[in-house]
Structure 1
Amino acid sequence: MKINSQTDGMFRKFVPNYEEEVIRELMANALVHRPYTTRGDIFINLFFDRLEVVNPGLFPIGVTAANVLHKNVRRNPYLAQVFYDLHLMDKEGTGIDKMYQVLLSNAKHIPIPFQGDDFVKFTIHKRISKPEIVSLINRANQEFTLNSKELISLGLIAQHNSISVIQFSKELNLPDTPNVVSRWLGSLLDIELIISKGKTKATEYLINPTFLKKANFKGKTNLKRIENHRLEELIYQDVKIYAPTPIRDIHVRIGKEISKNIIQKTLKAMRIKGVLDSAGVLKGTKYFIRQNE
Protein backbone atom coordinates (compact mmCIF):
# COMPACT_ATOMS: atom_id res chain seq x y z
CA MET A 1 0.00 0.00 0.00
CA LYS A 2 1.47 3.35 -1.01
CA ILE A 3 2.62 5.60 1.81
CA ASN A 4 2.70 9.39 1.86
CA SER A 5 4.92 11.23 4.32
CA GLN A 6 4.44 14.57 6.05
CA THR A 7 7.33 16.31 7.79
CA ASP A 8 6.89 17.98 11.18
CA GLY A 9 10.19 19.61 12.05
CA MET A 10 12.76 16.83 12.38
CA PHE A 11 10.02 14.19 12.61
CA ARG A 12 8.11 12.55 9.79
CA LYS A 13 4.60 11.10 9.86
CA PHE A 14 3.68 8.45 7.31
CA VAL A 15 0.14 8.55 5.94
CA PRO A 16 -1.00 5.53 3.88
CA ASN A 17 -3.41 5.87 1.00
CA TYR A 18 -5.91 3.87 3.05
CA GLU A 19 -5.41 3.66 6.81
CA GLU A 20 -5.37 0.19 8.37
CA GLU A 21 -7.75 1.22 11.18
CA VAL A 22 -10.30 2.51 8.68
CA ILE A 23 -10.19 -0.57 6.45
CA ARG A 24 -10.40 -2.89 9.46
CA GLU A 25 -13.45 -1.04 10.77
CA LEU A 26 -15.13 -1.05 7.35
CA MET A 27 -14.60 -4.80 6.98
CA ALA A 28 -15.68 -5.54 10.55
CA ASN A 29 -18.86 -3.52 10.05
CA ALA A 30 -19.52 -5.28 6.75
CA LEU A 31 -19.23 -8.71 8.38
CA VAL A 32 -20.87 -7.98 11.72
CA HIS A 33 -23.73 -5.69 10.75
CA ARG A 34 -24.89 -7.25 7.49
CA PRO A 35 -28.28 -9.04 7.46
CA TYR A 36 -27.47 -12.74 7.05
CA THR A 37 -31.02 -13.41 5.87
CA THR A 38 -30.03 -11.57 2.67
CA ARG A 39 -27.87 -13.44 0.18
CA GLY A 40 -24.96 -11.71 -1.51
CA ASP A 41 -21.24 -11.08 -1.39
CA ILE A 42 -19.25 -8.26 0.14
CA PHE A 43 -17.34 -6.34 -2.53
CA ILE A 44 -14.19 -4.26 -2.08
CA ASN A 45 -13.83 -1.96 -5.08
CA LEU A 46 -10.47 -0.22 -5.42
CA PHE A 47 -10.26 2.76 -7.78
CA PHE A 48 -7.36 5.11 -8.46
CA ASP A 49 -8.75 7.73 -6.07
CA ARG A 50 -11.04 5.87 -3.67
CA LEU A 51 -11.99 2.59 -2.03
CA GLU A 52 -15.54 1.29 -1.74
CA VAL A 53 -16.91 -1.47 0.51
CA VAL A 54 -20.30 -2.69 -0.70
CA ASN A 55 -22.45 -4.80 1.59
CA PRO A 56 -25.64 -6.72 0.68
CA GLY A 57 -28.78 -5.66 2.53
CA LEU A 58 -29.79 -2.37 4.11
CA PHE A 59 -28.92 -0.46 7.26
CA PRO A 60 -30.68 -1.70 10.43
CA ILE A 61 -34.08 -0.15 11.11
CA GLY A 62 -33.59 3.38 12.41
CA VAL A 63 -30.15 3.83 10.85
CA THR A 64 -29.71 5.89 7.68
CA ALA A 65 -26.79 7.24 5.68
CA ALA A 66 -27.45 10.60 7.39
CA ASN A 67 -27.36 9.42 11.02
CA VAL A 68 -24.88 6.53 10.83
CA LEU A 69 -22.31 8.50 12.87
CA HIS A 70 -24.71 8.90 15.80
CA LYS A 71 -27.17 5.98 15.68
CA ASN A 72 -26.26 2.62 17.20
CA VAL A 73 -28.58 -0.34 16.53
CA ARG A 74 -27.61 -3.93 17.27
CA ARG A 75 -28.15 -6.47 14.50
CA ASN A 76 -25.87 -9.44 15.29
CA PRO A 77 -24.85 -8.83 18.94
CA TYR A 78 -23.19 -12.23 19.51
CA LEU A 79 -21.05 -11.93 16.39
CA ALA A 80 -20.19 -8.35 17.38
CA GLN A 81 -19.04 -9.58 20.81
CA VAL A 82 -16.77 -12.20 19.19
CA PHE A 83 -15.15 -9.54 16.97
CA TYR A 84 -14.71 -7.25 19.97
CA ASP A 85 -13.16 -10.01 22.11
CA LEU A 86 -10.73 -10.80 19.29
CA HIS A 87 -9.82 -7.08 19.04
CA LEU A 88 -11.01 -7.01 15.44
CA MET A 89 -13.27 -4.03 16.05
CA ASP A 90 -13.68 -1.21 18.55
CA LYS A 91 -16.39 -1.37 21.16
CA GLU A 92 -19.88 -0.96 19.80
CA GLY A 93 -20.81 2.56 18.81
CA THR A 94 -17.26 3.91 18.45
CA GLY A 95 -16.15 2.43 15.11
CA ILE A 96 -17.59 5.10 12.82
CA ASP A 97 -16.26 7.82 15.14
CA LYS A 98 -12.81 6.24 14.84
CA MET A 99 -13.01 6.31 11.03
CA TYR A 100 -13.95 10.01 11.05
CA GLN A 101 -11.17 10.78 13.53
CA VAL A 102 -8.43 8.99 11.57
CA LEU A 103 -9.45 10.38 8.18
CA LEU A 104 -9.89 13.99 9.34
CA SER A 105 -6.64 13.87 11.33
CA ASN A 106 -4.92 12.89 8.08
CA ALA A 107 -6.60 15.76 6.20
CA LYS A 108 -8.86 13.46 4.20
CA HIS A 109 -12.54 13.60 3.32
CA ILE A 110 -14.97 12.02 5.77
CA PRO A 111 -16.36 8.58 4.78
CA ILE A 112 -19.38 8.69 2.51
CA PRO A 113 -22.19 6.22 3.37
CA PHE A 114 -24.85 5.39 0.78
CA GLN A 115 -27.87 3.08 0.86
CA GLY A 116 -29.17 1.68 -2.41
CA ASP A 117 -32.22 -0.51 -3.06
CA ASP A 118 -30.57 -3.63 -1.67
CA PHE A 119 -27.06 -2.67 -0.61
CA VAL A 120 -25.04 -0.34 1.60
CA LYS A 121 -21.82 1.28 0.39
CA PHE A 122 -19.07 3.14 2.23
CA THR A 123 -16.59 5.20 0.21
CA ILE A 124 -13.28 6.58 1.46
CA HIS A 125 -10.91 8.76 -0.58
CA LYS A 126 -7.13 8.60 -0.52
CA ARG A 127 -6.41 12.26 -1.37
CA ILE A 128 -4.89 14.41 1.35
CA SER A 129 -6.68 17.73 0.91
CA LYS A 130 -4.15 19.90 2.76
CA PRO A 131 -0.90 18.17 3.80
CA GLU A 132 -0.04 20.89 6.32
CA ILE A 133 -3.13 19.95 8.37
CA VAL A 134 -1.61 16.56 9.25
CA SER A 135 1.23 18.08 11.28
CA LEU A 136 -1.13 20.72 12.74
CA ILE A 137 -3.53 18.08 14.15
CA ASN A 138 -0.60 15.97 15.35
CA ARG A 139 0.89 18.98 17.16
CA ALA A 140 -2.46 19.89 18.76
CA ASN A 141 -3.08 16.33 19.96
CA GLN A 142 0.40 16.01 21.45
CA GLU A 143 0.03 19.30 23.30
CA PHE A 144 -3.54 18.91 24.58
CA THR A 145 -4.45 15.17 24.31
CA LEU A 146 -7.80 15.64 22.55
CA ASN A 147 -10.68 13.17 22.61
CA SER A 148 -12.30 11.69 19.51
CA LYS A 149 -15.03 14.33 19.09
CA GLU A 150 -12.51 17.15 19.55
CA LEU A 151 -10.16 15.67 16.93
CA ILE A 152 -13.04 15.24 14.48
CA SER A 153 -14.16 18.84 15.07
CA LEU A 154 -10.64 20.26 14.82
CA GLY A 155 -9.94 18.34 11.60
CA LEU A 156 -13.20 19.53 10.05
CA ILE A 157 -12.59 23.18 10.97
CA ALA A 158 -9.00 23.01 9.71
CA GLN A 159 -10.08 21.65 6.32
CA HIS A 160 -12.57 24.50 5.86
CA ASN A 161 -10.30 27.24 7.26
CA SER A 162 -13.48 28.74 8.72
CA ILE A 163 -16.81 26.96 9.07
CA SER A 164 -20.23 28.21 10.13
CA VAL A 165 -22.15 26.43 12.87
CA ILE A 166 -24.76 25.49 10.25
CA GLN A 167 -22.17 23.97 7.90
CA PHE A 168 -20.45 22.22 10.81
CA SER A 169 -23.75 20.63 11.83
CA LYS A 170 -24.50 19.67 8.23
CA GLU A 171 -21.13 17.96 7.73
CA LEU A 172 -21.64 15.83 10.84
CA ASN A 173 -25.43 15.53 10.48
CA LEU A 174 -26.06 17.25 13.81
CA PRO A 175 -29.01 19.40 14.84
CA ASP A 176 -27.60 22.95 14.65
CA THR A 177 -28.31 23.73 18.30
CA PRO A 178 -25.67 25.27 20.59
CA ASN A 179 -25.72 22.41 23.12
CA VAL A 180 -25.11 19.67 20.55
CA VAL A 181 -22.37 21.58 18.72
CA SER A 182 -20.78 22.49 22.06
CA ARG A 183 -20.55 18.80 23.04
CA TRP A 184 -18.62 18.09 19.84
CA LEU A 185 -16.30 21.06 20.23
CA GLY A 186 -15.54 20.00 23.80
CA SER A 187 -12.67 22.05 25.23
CA LEU A 188 -11.39 23.43 21.89
CA LEU A 189 -12.66 26.94 22.66
CA ASP A 190 -11.56 26.86 26.31
CA ILE A 191 -7.96 25.88 25.47
CA GLU A 192 -8.04 28.42 22.62
CA LEU A 193 -7.22 25.96 19.85
CA ILE A 194 -10.14 27.47 17.96
CA ILE A 195 -11.93 30.81 18.17
CA SER A 196 -15.46 31.82 17.21
CA LYS A 197 -16.93 34.81 15.42
CA GLY A 198 -20.54 35.92 15.45
CA LYS A 199 -23.47 34.73 17.54
CA THR A 200 -26.17 32.04 17.38
CA LYS A 201 -26.58 30.67 13.82
CA ALA A 202 -24.18 33.27 12.40
CA THR A 203 -21.34 31.80 14.49
CA GLU A 204 -18.24 30.70 12.60
CA TYR A 205 -15.33 28.67 13.94
CA LEU A 206 -11.70 28.89 12.84
CA ILE A 207 -8.31 27.73 14.06
CA ASN A 208 -6.77 30.25 16.45
CA PRO A 209 -4.19 32.29 14.46
CA THR A 210 -1.94 32.30 17.55
CA PHE A 211 -1.76 28.51 17.50
CA LEU A 212 -1.20 28.50 13.72
CA LYS A 213 1.79 30.77 14.20
CA LYS A 214 3.08 28.70 17.11
CA ALA A 215 2.77 25.51 15.04
CA ASN A 216 4.53 27.19 12.10
CA PHE A 217 1.49 26.42 9.94
CA LYS A 218 2.20 26.86 6.22
CA GLY A 219 -1.36 26.92 4.89
CA LYS A 220 -2.55 29.40 2.29
CA THR A 221 -3.78 32.81 3.42
CA ASN A 222 -7.44 33.56 2.76
CA LEU A 223 -10.13 36.00 3.82
CA LYS A 224 -11.87 33.59 6.20
CA ARG A 225 -9.49 34.57 9.00
CA ILE A 226 -9.76 38.31 8.40
CA GLU A 227 -10.17 40.43 11.54
CA ASN A 228 -13.36 42.46 11.98
CA HIS A 229 -11.75 45.89 11.63
CA ARG A 230 -9.96 44.82 8.44
CA LEU A 231 -13.22 43.48 6.99
CA GLU A 232 -14.91 46.80 7.79
CA GLU A 233 -12.16 48.66 5.95
CA LEU A 234 -12.49 46.30 2.97
CA ILE A 235 -16.25 46.88 2.82
CA TYR A 236 -15.79 50.63 3.26
CA GLN A 237 -13.45 50.81 0.25
CA ASP A 238 -15.83 48.66 -1.80
CA VAL A 239 -18.90 50.79 -0.98
CA LYS A 240 -16.91 53.97 -1.56
CA ILE A 241 -16.26 52.91 -5.16
CA TYR A 242 -19.55 51.18 -6.05
CA ALA A 243 -22.18 53.04 -3.97
CA PRO A 244 -25.10 52.72 -3.91
CA THR A 245 -24.69 48.95 -3.90
CA PRO A 246 -26.73 45.96 -2.64
CA ILE A 247 -25.30 43.33 -0.32
CA ARG A 248 -25.30 40.64 -3.02
CA ASP A 249 -22.88 42.68 -5.13
CA ILE A 250 -20.69 43.49 -2.13
CA HIS A 251 -20.55 39.77 -1.32
CA VAL A 252 -19.46 38.90 -4.87
CA ARG A 253 -16.71 41.53 -4.90
CA ILE A 254 -15.42 40.81 -1.39
CA GLY A 255 -15.38 37.09 -2.09
CA LYS A 256 -17.42 34.00 -1.26
CA GLU A 257 -14.83 32.93 1.34
CA ILE A 258 -16.66 35.23 3.76
CA SER A 259 -20.26 34.18 4.35
CA LYS A 260 -23.14 36.47 3.49
CA ASN A 261 -24.22 36.41 7.15
CA ILE A 262 -20.86 37.87 8.23
CA ILE A 263 -21.08 40.57 5.52
CA GLN A 264 -24.62 41.41 6.64
CA LYS A 265 -23.61 41.59 10.30
CA THR A 266 -20.64 43.84 9.46
CA LEU A 267 -22.80 46.18 7.36
CA LYS A 268 -25.24 46.48 10.27
CA ALA A 269 -22.38 47.31 12.67
CA MET A 270 -21.03 49.94 10.27
CA ARG A 271 -24.47 51.56 10.04
CA ILE A 272 -24.72 51.70 13.84
CA LYS A 273 -21.28 53.33 13.98
CA GLY A 274 -22.45 55.93 11.47
CA VAL A 275 -19.98 54.90 8.77
CA LEU A 276 -22.57 53.64 6.27
CA ASP A 277 -26.16 54.43 5.47
CA SER A 278 -28.75 52.56 3.43
CA ALA A 279 -31.86 53.12 1.37
CA GLY A 280 -34.56 50.69 0.32
CA VAL A 281 -35.95 47.58 1.99
CA LEU A 282 -35.25 43.84 1.94
CA LYS A 283 -33.48 42.76 -1.28
CA GLY A 284 -33.74 46.29 -2.62
CA THR A 285 -31.57 47.72 0.17
CA LYS A 286 -28.50 49.58 -1.09
CA TYR A 287 -25.57 50.88 0.93
CA PHE A 288 -23.54 54.07 0.63
CA ILE A 289 -21.08 56.14 2.66
CA ARG A 290 -22.79 58.38 5.22
CA GLN A 291 -22.03 62.03 4.62
CA ASN A 292 -21.15 64.09 7.68
CA GLU A 293 -23.34 67.15 8.09
Structure 2
Amino acid sequence: MADIEQIKKNKDKMDLAPNVDFVARHISLYQEGLQRLLANPVTPLARAFADSVQFENLEAIVQPQLTPEEIRQLLSVMPESLIRLSKLTTVKYFGMVPVPTYDEQGNFSGKPEWVDYDEFPRASDHPSRILVGVSTGTEIYSTPIPRTVSTNDLAVKMYQTHVFLHEFFHTLDYPRRDSAKRAAVVLEYDGEQFTLQDFWNEFEKLYLKEDKKFVSRYAATYADKLNEETKVKEPAKFNSAIGEQICESFVGYMLGIISNDNQEIEFKRAHPEEYKLIDKVCRAKVIATD
Protein backbone atom coordinates (compact mmCIF):
# COMPACT_ATOMS: atom_id res chain seq x y z
CA MET A 1 0.00 0.00 0.00
CA ALA A 2 1.22 3.49 -0.86
CA ASP A 3 2.36 5.63 2.06
CA ILE A 4 0.37 8.67 3.16
CA GLU A 5 2.73 11.16 1.54
CA GLN A 6 2.64 9.35 -1.81
CA ILE A 7 -1.16 9.12 -1.70
CA LYS A 8 -1.29 12.89 -1.16
CA LYS A 9 1.08 13.48 -4.08
CA ASN A 10 -1.06 11.30 -6.30
CA LYS A 11 -4.24 13.13 -5.31
CA ASP A 12 -2.55 16.49 -5.85
CA LYS A 13 -2.23 15.60 -9.53
CA MET A 14 -5.93 16.50 -9.71
CA ASP A 15 -5.37 19.96 -8.21
CA LEU A 16 -6.67 22.39 -10.83
CA ALA A 17 -5.16 25.50 -9.24
CA PRO A 18 -1.64 25.08 -10.75
CA ASN A 19 -3.20 24.75 -14.23
CA VAL A 20 -5.16 27.99 -13.90
CA ASP A 21 -2.14 29.71 -12.31
CA PHE A 22 -0.08 28.69 -15.37
CA VAL A 23 -2.70 30.29 -17.62
CA ALA A 24 -2.65 33.46 -15.52
CA ARG A 25 1.15 33.74 -15.79
CA HIS A 26 1.04 33.33 -19.57
CA ILE A 27 -2.30 34.95 -20.35
CA SER A 28 -0.93 37.07 -23.20
CA LEU A 29 0.31 33.94 -25.01
CA TYR A 30 -3.07 32.29 -24.53
CA GLN A 31 -4.86 35.37 -25.86
CA GLU A 32 -2.59 35.45 -28.90
CA GLY A 33 -3.22 31.77 -29.52
CA LEU A 34 -6.98 32.17 -29.24
CA GLN A 35 -6.93 35.19 -31.58
CA ARG A 36 -4.99 33.17 -34.16
CA LEU A 37 -7.47 30.33 -33.86
CA LEU A 38 -10.54 32.55 -34.23
CA ALA A 39 -8.97 34.28 -37.24
CA ASN A 40 -9.14 31.06 -39.25
CA PRO A 41 -11.62 31.10 -42.16
CA VAL A 42 -15.14 29.87 -41.45
CA THR A 43 -16.31 27.37 -44.06
CA PRO A 44 -19.99 26.77 -44.86
CA LEU A 45 -19.69 23.27 -43.37
CA ALA A 46 -18.24 24.62 -40.13
CA ARG A 47 -20.85 27.37 -39.85
CA ALA A 48 -23.68 24.90 -40.42
CA PHE A 49 -22.19 22.57 -37.82
CA ALA A 50 -21.80 25.33 -35.24
CA ASP A 51 -25.39 26.49 -35.85
CA SER A 52 -26.72 22.94 -35.49
CA VAL A 53 -25.44 22.48 -31.94
CA GLN A 54 -28.14 22.97 -29.30
CA PHE A 55 -27.60 24.63 -25.92
CA GLU A 56 -29.46 23.64 -22.78
CA ASN A 57 -29.68 24.72 -19.13
CA LEU A 58 -28.46 28.27 -19.75
CA GLU A 59 -29.83 29.17 -16.33
CA ALA A 60 -27.10 26.95 -14.84
CA ILE A 61 -24.25 29.05 -16.23
CA VAL A 62 -21.81 30.09 -13.51
CA GLN A 63 -19.40 32.78 -14.66
CA PRO A 64 -16.64 32.88 -15.79
CA GLN A 65 -17.89 30.52 -18.49
CA LEU A 66 -18.01 30.34 -22.28
CA THR A 67 -21.29 31.61 -23.67
CA PRO A 68 -23.19 29.80 -26.45
CA GLU A 69 -22.01 32.42 -28.95
CA GLU A 70 -18.37 31.99 -27.90
CA ILE A 71 -18.72 28.23 -28.24
CA ARG A 72 -20.24 28.63 -31.70
CA GLN A 73 -17.27 30.81 -32.64
CA LEU A 74 -14.90 28.04 -31.59
CA LEU A 75 -16.88 25.36 -33.41
CA SER A 76 -16.96 27.43 -36.58
CA VAL A 77 -13.16 27.34 -36.87
CA MET A 78 -12.67 23.66 -36.08
CA PRO A 79 -10.91 21.62 -38.82
CA GLU A 80 -13.35 20.20 -41.35
CA SER A 81 -12.00 16.68 -40.90
CA LEU A 82 -12.90 16.77 -37.21
CA ILE A 83 -16.28 18.35 -37.87
CA ARG A 84 -17.13 15.50 -40.23
CA LEU A 85 -16.18 12.98 -37.54
CA SER A 86 -17.68 14.75 -34.51
CA LYS A 87 -20.93 13.43 -33.03
CA LEU A 88 -21.59 16.59 -31.01
CA THR A 89 -25.25 17.60 -30.86
CA THR A 90 -25.70 19.42 -27.55
CA VAL A 91 -23.87 21.54 -25.00
CA LYS A 92 -25.46 21.44 -21.55
CA TYR A 93 -24.50 23.82 -18.77
CA PHE A 94 -24.29 22.00 -15.49
CA GLY A 95 -24.20 23.90 -12.19
CA MET A 96 -22.35 21.14 -10.39
CA VAL A 97 -18.70 20.43 -9.66
CA PRO A 98 -17.24 17.04 -10.67
CA VAL A 99 -15.02 16.02 -7.76
CA PRO A 100 -12.53 13.24 -8.53
CA THR A 101 -12.61 9.96 -6.64
CA TYR A 102 -9.48 7.90 -6.05
CA ASP A 103 -8.20 4.35 -5.71
CA GLU A 104 -6.25 3.12 -2.66
CA GLN A 105 -3.03 4.62 -4.02
CA GLY A 106 -4.59 8.04 -4.47
CA ASN A 107 -4.74 7.77 -8.26
CA PHE A 108 -7.80 9.18 -10.04
CA SER A 109 -10.35 6.38 -10.44
CA GLY A 110 -11.71 7.79 -13.69
CA LYS A 111 -15.08 8.63 -12.15
CA PRO A 112 -16.20 11.86 -10.44
CA GLU A 113 -18.67 12.55 -7.66
CA TRP A 114 -21.04 15.41 -8.49
CA VAL A 115 -21.44 18.19 -5.94
CA ASP A 116 -23.74 21.23 -6.18
CA TYR A 117 -21.75 24.37 -6.93
CA ASP A 118 -23.15 26.15 -3.89
CA GLU A 119 -22.14 23.26 -1.62
CA PHE A 120 -18.53 23.01 -2.79
CA PRO A 121 -16.21 22.60 -1.03
CA ARG A 122 -17.77 20.32 1.56
CA ALA A 123 -15.80 19.52 4.70
CA SER A 124 -14.39 16.42 2.98
CA ASP A 125 -13.40 18.22 -0.23
CA HIS A 126 -10.04 19.67 -1.17
CA PRO A 127 -10.82 23.22 -2.36
CA SER A 128 -9.12 22.93 -5.73
CA ARG A 129 -8.94 19.23 -6.61
CA ILE A 130 -11.71 19.17 -9.21
CA LEU A 131 -12.47 18.18 -12.77
CA VAL A 132 -13.95 20.51 -15.37
CA GLY A 133 -16.17 19.56 -18.28
CA VAL A 134 -17.49 16.15 -19.28
CA SER A 135 -18.46 14.65 -22.62
CA THR A 136 -20.63 11.65 -23.48
CA GLY A 137 -19.55 11.69 -27.12
CA THR A 138 -22.69 13.47 -28.31
CA GLU A 139 -23.08 15.97 -25.46
CA ILE A 140 -20.66 18.25 -23.67
CA TYR A 141 -21.45 19.17 -20.07
CA SER A 142 -19.96 22.58 -19.32
CA THR A 143 -19.19 22.80 -15.59
CA PRO A 144 -18.07 25.73 -13.41
CA ILE A 145 -14.69 26.41 -11.84
CA PRO A 146 -15.20 27.45 -8.18
CA ARG A 147 -13.47 30.53 -6.82
CA THR A 148 -11.63 28.29 -4.37
CA VAL A 149 -9.56 27.29 -7.42
CA SER A 150 -8.87 30.82 -8.63
CA THR A 151 -10.29 34.32 -8.41
CA ASN A 152 -8.62 35.36 -11.67
CA ASP A 153 -11.67 35.52 -13.93
CA LEU A 154 -9.67 36.05 -17.12
CA ALA A 155 -7.50 32.99 -16.50
CA VAL A 156 -10.49 30.87 -15.47
CA LYS A 157 -12.39 31.73 -18.64
CA MET A 158 -9.35 30.97 -20.78
CA TYR A 159 -8.99 27.63 -19.03
CA GLN A 160 -12.64 26.97 -19.88
CA THR A 161 -11.61 27.42 -23.53
CA HIS A 162 -8.96 24.73 -22.98
CA VAL A 163 -11.63 22.48 -21.48
CA PHE A 164 -14.08 22.97 -24.32
CA LEU A 165 -11.47 22.18 -26.98
CA HIS A 166 -10.51 19.05 -25.04
CA GLU A 167 -14.12 17.91 -24.75
CA PHE A 168 -14.78 18.67 -28.42
CA PHE A 169 -12.14 16.14 -29.46
CA HIS A 170 -13.84 13.60 -27.22
CA THR A 171 -16.94 13.93 -29.43
CA LEU A 172 -15.09 12.09 -32.17
CA ASP A 173 -12.97 9.97 -29.83
CA TYR A 174 -15.57 8.52 -27.43
CA PRO A 175 -17.88 7.14 -30.13
CA ARG A 176 -14.90 5.21 -31.53
CA ARG A 177 -13.36 3.58 -28.46
CA ASP A 178 -13.16 0.46 -30.57
CA SER A 179 -10.32 -0.44 -32.93
CA ALA A 180 -12.70 -1.68 -35.64
CA LYS A 181 -14.58 1.62 -35.68
CA ARG A 182 -11.34 3.59 -35.80
CA ALA A 183 -10.04 1.37 -38.62
CA ALA A 184 -13.18 2.13 -40.64
CA VAL A 185 -12.39 5.86 -40.65
CA VAL A 186 -10.09 6.60 -43.59
CA LEU A 187 -8.38 9.95 -44.08
CA GLU A 188 -5.99 11.33 -46.65
CA TYR A 189 -3.25 13.91 -46.28
CA ASP A 190 -0.55 14.89 -48.74
CA GLY A 191 -1.32 11.91 -50.97
CA GLU A 192 -1.18 9.39 -48.11
CA GLN A 193 -4.19 7.51 -46.81
CA PHE A 194 -4.36 6.44 -43.18
CA THR A 195 -7.01 5.33 -40.73
CA LEU A 196 -7.99 6.79 -37.40
CA GLN A 197 -6.58 3.59 -35.93
CA ASP A 198 -3.20 4.33 -37.55
CA PHE A 199 -3.32 7.76 -35.90
CA TRP A 200 -4.22 6.10 -32.56
CA ASN A 201 -1.38 3.61 -32.91
CA GLU A 202 1.14 6.42 -33.31
CA PHE A 203 0.02 7.94 -30.02
CA GLU A 204 0.26 4.53 -28.37
CA LYS A 205 3.88 4.23 -29.52
CA LEU A 206 4.69 7.63 -28.04
CA TYR A 207 3.13 6.88 -24.67
CA LEU A 208 4.36 3.33 -24.22
CA LYS A 209 7.95 4.56 -24.34
CA GLU A 210 9.87 4.61 -21.09
CA ASP A 211 10.95 8.20 -21.61
CA LYS A 212 7.51 9.61 -22.46
CA LYS A 213 7.00 13.30 -21.85
CA PHE A 214 3.49 14.48 -21.06
CA VAL A 215 2.10 17.52 -22.83
CA SER A 216 0.23 18.84 -19.79
CA ARG A 217 -0.21 18.49 -16.07
CA TYR A 218 -3.61 16.86 -16.59
CA ALA A 219 -2.27 14.42 -19.20
CA ALA A 220 0.33 13.26 -16.67
CA THR A 221 -2.38 12.13 -14.23
CA TYR A 222 -2.84 9.07 -16.47
CA ALA A 223 0.83 8.01 -16.25
CA ASP A 224 0.06 4.94 -14.13
CA LYS A 225 -2.24 3.57 -16.86
CA LEU A 226 0.10 3.99 -19.84
CA ASN A 227 1.99 0.71 -19.86
CA GLU A 228 1.88 -2.67 -21.61
CA GLU A 229 0.39 -4.43 -18.57
CA THR A 230 -2.62 -2.11 -18.42
CA LYS A 231 -3.02 -2.32 -22.20
CA VAL A 232 -3.37 -6.12 -21.95
CA LYS A 233 -5.19 -6.54 -18.64
CA GLU A 234 -7.34 -3.38 -18.55
CA PRO A 235 -7.65 -2.18 -22.16
CA ALA A 236 -10.52 0.21 -21.39
CA LYS A 237 -8.37 2.12 -18.89
CA PHE A 238 -5.46 2.13 -21.31
CA ASN A 239 -7.62 3.41 -24.16
CA SER A 240 -9.02 6.11 -21.91
CA ALA A 241 -5.51 7.23 -21.00
CA ILE A 242 -4.46 7.38 -24.66
CA GLY A 243 -7.60 9.35 -25.49
CA GLU A 244 -6.71 11.92 -22.84
CA GLN A 245 -3.21 12.34 -24.30
CA ILE A 246 -4.73 12.99 -27.73
CA CYS A 247 -7.31 15.47 -26.44
CA GLU A 248 -4.72 17.43 -24.47
CA SER A 249 -2.39 17.44 -27.48
CA PHE A 250 -5.25 18.86 -29.55
CA VAL A 251 -5.61 21.72 -27.07
CA GLY A 252 -1.90 22.47 -27.24
CA TYR A 253 -2.01 22.39 -31.04
CA MET A 254 -5.02 24.71 -31.30
CA LEU A 255 -3.87 27.31 -28.75
CA GLY A 256 -0.11 26.92 -29.20
CA ILE A 257 0.35 26.51 -25.44
CA ILE A 258 -1.00 24.26 -22.68
CA SER A 259 -0.59 24.25 -18.90
CA ASN A 260 2.29 22.05 -17.75
CA ASP A 261 4.78 21.58 -14.93
CA ASN A 262 7.85 22.07 -17.15
CA GLN A 263 7.28 25.77 -17.92
CA GLU A 264 7.00 25.00 -21.64
CA ILE A 265 5.35 27.89 -23.46
CA GLU A 266 5.50 26.71 -27.07
CA PHE A 267 3.68 23.45 -27.73
CA LYS A 268 5.09 22.87 -31.21
CA ARG A 269 8.70 23.14 -30.01
CA ALA A 270 8.20 21.17 -26.78
CA HIS A 271 6.18 18.34 -28.35
CA PRO A 272 6.98 18.12 -32.07
CA GLU A 273 5.78 14.50 -32.44
CA GLU A 274 2.36 15.18 -30.95
CA TYR A 275 2.14 18.40 -32.95
CA LYS A 276 2.87 16.58 -36.20
CA LEU A 277 0.25 13.88 -35.53
CA ILE A 278 -2.49 16.37 -34.62
CA ASP A 279 -1.57 18.60 -37.55
CA LYS A 280 -1.90 15.67 -39.93
CA VAL A 281 -5.36 14.63 -38.76
CA CYS A 282 -6.57 18.26 -38.72
CA ARG A 283 -5.40 18.91 -42.28
CA ALA A 284 -6.59 15.58 -43.67
CA LYS A 285 -9.61 14.93 -45.85
CA VAL A 286 -12.12 12.32 -44.67
CA ILE A 287 -12.41 9.57 -47.28
CA ALA A 288 -14.60 7.08 -45.39
CA THR A 289 -16.34 6.97 -42.01
CA ASP A 290 -17.57 4.21 -39.73
User: Does TM, scored on the shorter chain, surpass 0.5?
Assistant: no
TMscore range, shorter length? under 0.3
Q: What's the TM-score once normalised by structure 1's chain length? A: 0.27
Which structure has the larger Rg?
A: 1
Higher relative contact order (CA 8 A, sep 6+): 2
Report the structure, 1 or 2, having the larger helix content: 2
TM-score in terms of structure 2 length: 0.27
